[in-house]
Structure 1
């Protein structure tokens, strides 16, 4: 399933190449979400890292991405893997997750979760 988000580019990191030859590049997009803007980290893999070359900090973008999950040592991790970027104000009308449920329809069990990040 594919998702989209629209926001302003906050950070574009340099490409990372690992010993295996695998290459990735990360960016952070700030999405306006009510009173609390969210900084969303997305990664681009292999040939998709070139999509970030023409972007600049502060630019409004709409990013199409997939959610990928994996298990490592009994812990579960998620990654947002981008595959398309549209730049400019015309990219989308609002700065939000396009596939997110309407406000008030989130599972309230998340309100009691521990916010400690393991890494």
Structure 2
């Protein structure tokens, strides 16, 4: 099941790679929640780590994430695992290039290019 939140980036951690080859990177987003803003930690793993490369603290973003839970030694843990980030008022941060442009940005269009 997918969830989403919007807020301002507080910080972005450096990527961490473990001996197993597993890589993760964490980001904290401040979400306004009435009188007490919430600082929400989200993790991005493996190929999703690169979604954070073009982001900066202070940017307003919308993050799509899944909730992951597990048991370890009789204790239970939850993680918010991000899989999409959209800069509000801007383009989405994506790991791949737009289809059909071979890694280049699509050409800009003017009002004269619109067919209606």
Q: What range describes the TM-score normalised by the shorter chain of this pair?
A: 0.7 to 0.9
Q: CA deviation at 1:90?
A: 6.8
Q: When the two structures are superposed, what TM-score results if normalisation uses the length of structure 2? A: 0.76
Which runs of 5 or more residues in structure 2 are unaligned?
92-116
Distance 2:25 2:5 in 1: 18
Secondary structure of residue in 1 paired with 2:7: strand
Larger radius of gyration: 2
Q: Deviations over 1:8-57 (max 9, x none)?
A: 00010000000000000000000000000000000000010000011000
Shift of 1:89: 3.9
- Aligned residues between the structures: 91
Give, in whole Å, the separation in 1 of the partners of 2:90 and 2:2: 20
Distance 1:90 1:84 in 2: 14
2:95 equivalent to 1:88 = no
The higher relative CO (CA closer than 8 Å, separation ≥ 6) is in 1
**Paired position in structure 2 for 1:75:** 75
Paired residue secondary structure (2:20): coil
Deviations 1:49-105 (A, max 9, x none): 0000110000000000000000001000000000000102479xxxxxxxxxxxxxx
SS at structure 2 position matched to 1:33: coil
Indicate the residue corresponding to 1:35 in structure 2: 35
Corresponding residue for residue 113 of structure 2: none
Structure 1: runs of 5+ lacking an equivalent: 92-119
State how far apart, in whole Å, the 2-side matches of 1:89 and 1:28 are: 19
> Using the alignment, how far apart are the partners of 2:27 and 2:6 within structure 1?
13
Instruction: Provide the residue aligned with 1:52 in structure 2.
Output: 52
